[in-house]
Structure 1
Amino acid sequence: MLKHSIISDDSNPILKHYDLQRQVGTAGPENVWKIFEAIRLEDSKEASVFWFEKKVADKLHKPRRRETVSEILRKDVTQLSRIRHPKIISIQHGVEECHDSLAFATEPIFASLSNILGNYERMPANIPQELKIMQKRNIFGMRRVPFTGDHEFIDMEIKYGIFQITEALSFLHSSEHLIHRNVCPQSILITKRGAWKLASLGFVEKTKEGKKSSCQSWTTKIPKMAQPDLNFIAPEVQLEKICTPLSDMFSLGMVICAIYNSGKSLISADHLPGLYVKQLDQMHETFGIVAHRMPLQLVEPVEKMINRDTRYRPTAQLFSMLKYFTDPVVSGLQLLDAAVAADRKDPVQRAEAYANLSQVIPIMPRKILYRNVFPTLCQDCKSGESMVFALPAMLTMIDFAPRDDYIDIILPEFRNIMSSSKPVQATVYILNKLDIILSKTPLEEIKSEVLPLVFNTLDSQSLQAQEAALSAFSVIKEYLDDNIIRKMVLPRAKSLFYRSTNVRLRINALTCIDHMLDSLGKMLILDEVLPFLTDITCQDADVVMAVVGVYKHMLSDKKFGLTHNLIATKVMPSLIPHTVNPGLSMEQFGDLMEVLREMLEQIDRQRRNKMKLETVILPVPPRYEYSIFVT
């Protein structure tokens, strides 16, 4: 439980539902919401709790002003609870209130964009290490950039983040007919899975079709924590007290500039409306400096977004269609987010998302892959329904991951997938991709996790799974010792052949034995394999040819112990009747006859050599020895 030194009271009802941990960030107007890591007591799942201490507003000596702040924050949570969209923060538990605090719970949050850009207002003295900003030199010289160890913003992260917030605004403007009115870094939250989501809906205004909405400009007469951020407010809001959805686009443009300007807005009014007006006139000069740090494809659109003339500003929908966002990684992430938002209700959509993702993974930045994609893959692989769709992407990720990443990050999760119960289709897919898994997996893990998966699948009731397991032995044979082959592989392969009437399964059993031959000793082959083969009476042409294939392999090397005596007395008598098998095609008949001729040649060669050794040639006597018989 969080200590009293961090939160002034423990009487807020939300503490009955969540166990609060460390503070990781702040958000909302003037960063009044403290964000805490939390564990939901009901199911021990990770969450975040937003906490507002009312004493923060105590310096507002007039009670009405203090209540104004609380009203705005209550409205914020109420709107978030009502409006559901993948790019708007998801509420887990609605607002709870007591005399000293307001609180609500959401999906797990990493921090606000404001925190990541270096604003630590209302943060504890011990700033989380992952949020600390370090001096780092780049092509613009020494400047402060968001740097969090492995969490420094990368271009793709910013690109997709801006796209996500644009989608949230497009939804608010088009579907909800609302104007956000406070788009700023404090209103953008980064989840622990790396998604950028819009929050702070306490200032929303309803749009009027074809008309501009009237709104309150920023004033010193209202507490600053009960107003939007002056540094990001659109000129028409502050100067004319009117707003439209395009006012939000001005604010978004200013947020983009802040990202590329060390977290600072182009306007720094310091809560002074007069200074805002003065800096507004100088803003485009400042933009010229910041523009050099932006991707070229963003410069012109952003310049239009922050134009004082609303006619030049793009709508959220038009902005989202920029060529800048036409990127396969953005498209792949977007499809995945949409599928997750559908909550597995649309299998076709999920299949499409993961098929696309499998193609994009090889070019996806490492940070995006492990922070945005991998947690979703792991989650979907815990559900039988979605595992079938997610596994191909997971295996693609394994295929392209450096071995260290696989061992340290992927394998701990994939180990659970291999050992868990799963649909037949998922098991078959893993077995068919064992070559990829074996190439990255340490030997001890292969023996403890991969081999049991194969052997357990042999006992499956599914013919498809049994076939896949038998086929897998060609890949894992180098990891099997003679004892395992003799006691586990051969008996199961033979048993499956005898028990099954399925032709494909019988062929796979024979193929499995064929692949094992090189690993078997001569006596094991003669005692276990040869009698099994000669006893096969199945007349199916494909099964016959599988048997012929095993014999052909055995003929290739003397180490298999197939002598001319065994060929003549055991093997050929079992094969010759098949020469009149009406089920054989011309090609199959030719293959059978070729093996029989090779067997006859071996008999002829070995028999002649033996006869030569056994034949005793009498010496021819000298000519003079015959003279005594001459008369």
Structure 2
Amino acid sequence: MGLLEIKHGLLQVAETLDFLHNNAHLAHRAISPETVFITSNGSWKLGGFGFALSVDQATGGLTSSQLFHYSDYDVEDTALPLQPSLNYTAPELVRSGDSKVGSACDMFSFGCLAYHLVARRPLLDCHNNVKMYMNALTYLTSEAFSNIPSDLVSDLQRMISMDAVSRPSAVAFTGSSFFRDDTRLRALRFLDHLLERDNMQKTEFLKALSDMWKDFDSRVLRYKVLPPLCAELRNMVMQPMILPMVLTIAESQDKGDFELATLPALVPVFTSASGETLLLLVKHADLIINKATQEHLISHILPMLVRAYDDNDPRLQEEVLRRTVSLSRQLDTKLVKQAVLPRVHGLALKTTVAAVRVNALRCLGDLVPSLDKEGILGILETVRRCTAVDHTAPTLMCTLGVANAIYKQRCGVCCGICDSSHLPITHSTSTECTTICQVYAICQGHYKQDRREAWCDCYR
């Protein structure tokens, strides 16, 4: 856990304490690492209220049953009555003569917790021995704070003071320069309240956030940045800005984490996406396909890609054709033949955009290894119809690629392409004839000069 995540978590606990003291009028009395919980979305929550008392009751005096009783010698935790760890307990709760306590006891415990998290070791380690505890507090030296950031030292020293009156409140602690001067922390705090901001504020913030990616570690991205961004995907206006960030974070996630944290937020977007949003999703389709479950692939991702096939935007058509092969590898062959292959054929035959036709023909060539004889014959028919109206070099070269793929399959249909009904119709230029001869030669498995010349002669 990095320092930025610790800062953010401490602020959340401080806000909880502020509410506890000033609104609920309670003293927690047992703050320690064991009573702070981190949720699945990275939020820090305060629990363990078994020793909590109302502030009025605590300041009015505690009964014997409400006091904590610690030993003057080392004792294992299991040998003690159920009570908070001495390492995080305020001295006024330890001294038997102090029966009146207030919310300041929580700030002492909170200071010990903050020290432990930042320094990576507890401030006090007294084995439930009161004498050791009091000696450690009384003779605390500046060397103990050598591993603490300089802008936090004075605040911690005040929080763990033996004088309860000198301890800062929870609100005062949040104003420390340790928090205030960290721009990354301010960004996380803005994300905490992202849903409360208007679209103009969100836009300005997200522009600045795009320059901060390098400053966040993977845990912060996963638990602090991703959840509020996913929640904001419901805002159609902000989707074009937020979706690239979500997909960027998703690249670093493993499959299980993606399915748990990111995919549920993307599913509604898959259903409603259109225009630029749909184009962005299709461009990242390989990422989504490789990380999604088979169930989500069929029920949500395939319908989204089908909409891209059927869209009139050539950019969408090109992008989805480039992702067709990776999609087909994850789907059952029957489903590919039903939902994908007819649309690829349709784009190859109906488009008026050369780039779309080229990508469709390349896609058909890449699909050849996964198809049976009937499917390959369908590809041959599409190739014949395309080259009947399009004699450009890119289309003819893609035809060559399709023929090469079919020949490599050795599936018994290679001879079909040699039939005159499947050979491309070309002009009589020598370049075009040479290209078709190459297709013919690949399908036959050889390239003989005399046969090429004879083939060209028959078309002159």
Alignment TM class, shorter chain as reference: 0.5 to 0.7
Letter paired with 1:550: V
| Equivalent residue in structure 1 for 2:204, among 342, 349, 352 | 349
CA displacement, residues 562-613 of structure 1 (integer Å, 9 cap, x when unaligned) = 22x73362455525647557xxxxxxxxxx95773463375585999xxxxx
Distance 1:546 1:605, change over 3 A: closer
Return the alpha-carbon distance in structure 1 between the equivalents of residues 260 and 24 of structure 2: 35
* 1:421 Cα deviation after fit: 0.7
Q: CA deviation at 1:530?
A: 0.9
Q: Which amino acid aligns with 1:260?
A: A
Aligned length: 352
Aligned residue in 2 for 1:364:
218
Separation in structure 2 between the aligned mates of residue 343 and residue 398 of structure 1, nearest angstrom = 26
> Of 120, 135, 147, which aligns to 2:52?
120
Q: Give the letter for the 1:487 counterpart.
A: Q
Conserved in 2, the CA contact under 8 Å of 1:428 and 1:465? yes
Change in 2 beyond 3 A, CA 1:112/1:490: closer
Where relative contact order (Cα < 8 A, 6+ residues apart) is larger, the structure is 2
2:455 counterpart of 1:600: no
Q: Is the 8 A contact 1:460 1:466 kept in 2?
A: yes
**Could you tell me whether the CA contact under 8 Å between 1:496 and 1:506 is conserved in 2?**
yes
Amino acid corresponding to residue 121 of structure 1 in structure 2: L
Q: CA RMSD in A?
A: 4.9
Residues 354, 262 of structure 1: alpha-carbon distance in 2 compared, 3 angstrom cutoff: closer
Deviation at 1:475, TM superposition (A): 0.9
1:229 and 1:431 map into 2 onto residues whose CA distance is: 55
Matched, 1:33 2:31: no
Distance in 2, Cα, partners of 1:143 & 1:547: 79
Return the match for 2:319 from 450, 468, 488: 468
Among residues 224, 249, 252, which one is paired with 1:397 in the alignment?
A: 249
Partner of 2:298: 447
Inter-CA distance 299–456: structure 2 relative to 1 (3 Å threshold): closer
* Distance of 1:595 and 1:358 partners within structure 2: 52
Please list every run of 5 or more consecutive structure 2 residues that lacks an aligned counterpart in the other structure: 1-15, 27-42, 56-76, 79-84, 90-99, 118-122, 124-134, 167-172, 450-460
* Structure 1 residues 336 and 511, CA gap change in structure 2 (3 angstroms): farther
Q: TM-score under structure 1 normalisation? A: 0.45
**Structure 1 residues 503-542: aligned runs within 5 Å:** 503-526=354-377, 528-536=378-386, 537-542=389-394
**Unpaired segments of 5 or more residues in structure 1?**
1-24, 36-109, 124-134, 137-141, 147-223, 233-250, 267-281, 309-313, 582-591, 609-631
1:552 shift after superposition: 3.2
Partner of 1:380: 232
Match of 2:411 in 1: 559
Counterpart Cα distance in 2 of 1:560 and 1:451: 32
Are residue 547 (structure 1) and residue 393 (structure 2) matched? no
The answer to whether the 8 A contact 1:339-1:349 is kept is: no
What's 2:32 paired with? Answer: none
Counterparts of 1:498 and 1:542, CA distance in 2 = 15
CA distance, structure 2, for counterparts of residue 566 and residue 111 of structure 1: 67
Rate the CA distance shift 1:571–1:359 in 2: closer, same or farther, 3 A: farther
Shift of 1:387: 1.7
Letter in 1 for 2:334: N
Q: Is the 8 A contact 2:361 2:399 kept in 1?
A: yes
- Tell me the CA shift for residue 262 of structure 1: 8.7
Letter in 1 for 2:288: I
What is the DSSP-based 3-state SS (H/G/I as helix, E as strand, rest coil) of the residue aligned with 1:401?
coil
Distance in 1, matches of 2:412 and 2:189, equals 57
Q: Partner of 1:569: helix, strand, or coil?
A: coil
The one-letter code of the counterpart of 1:600 is A
SS of residue paired to 1:392? helix
What is aligned with 1:221? none
The change in CA–CA distance for 1:601 and 1:501 in structure 2 (over 3 A counts) is closer
Check 1:432–1:577 CA distance in 2 against 1; reply closer, same or farther (3 A cut). Answer: farther
Residue in structure 2 matched with residue 499 of structure 1 by the alignment:
350
Q: Which is higher, the Rg of structure 1 or of structure 2?
A: 1
Q: Is the 8 A contact 1:339 1:350 kept in 2?
A: no
CA contact (8 A) 1:143 1:262 kept: no
% same residue: 18
After superposition, where does 1:218-617 map in structure 2 within 5 Å? 257=111, 259-260=113-114, 288=141, 291-292=144-145, 295-298=148-151, 300=153, 302=155, 325=182, 330=185, 333=188, 336=191, 342-346=197-201, 348-353=203-208, 355-356=210-211, 359=214, 363-365=217-219, 369-370=222-223, 372-418=224-270, 420-526=271-377, 528-536=378-386, 537-559=389-411, 561-563=413-415, 566-567=417-418, 569-570=420-421, 572-575=423-426, 577=428, 579-580=430-431, 593=434, 596-597=437-438, 599-600=440-441, 603=444, 605=446
Report the secondary structure of 1:426's partner residue: helix
Assess if the C-alpha contact under 8 Å between 1:567 and 1:599 holds in 2: yes
The CA distance in 2 between the partners of 1:316 and 1:485, in whole Å, is 59
Q: Is the Cα contact below 8 Å between 1:471 and 1:508 reproduced in 2?
A: yes
> What's the secondary structure of 2:234's corresponding residue?
coil
Greater strand proportion = 1
CA, structure 1 residues 601+255, in 2 after alignment: closer, same or farther (shift >3 Å)?
closer
**8 Å Cα contact 1:555/1:562 also seen in 2:** yes
Call closer, same or farther: CA 1:495–1:331 in 2, change over 3 Å. same
Higher normalized helix content (fraction of residues): 2
Shift of 1:438: 2.8
Q: CA offsets per residue over residues 339-379 of structure 1, 9 Å max, x none?
A: 76652215753542553465566x2326x733x33331222
Is residue 26–residue 32 contact of structure 1 (8 Å, CA) maintained in 2? Answer: no
For the Cα contact (< 8 Å) 1:380–1:390, is it kept in 2? yes
Could you tell me which amino acid in structure 1 is paired with residue 199 of structure 2? R
Paired residue type of 2:111: C
| Separation in 2, partners of 1:122, 1:462 | 65
The C-alpha deviation readout for 1:154-205, integer Å capped at 9, x for no partner, is xxxxxxxxxxxxxxxxxxxxxxxxxxxxxxxxxxxxxxxxxxxxxxxxxxxx
Which AA in structure 2 matches 1:464? Answer: R
Distance change (3 Å), C-alpha of 1:438 and 1:365: same
> CA 1:499–1:122 in 2, change beyond 3 Å: closer, same or farther?
farther
Distance 2:346 2:337 in 1: 13
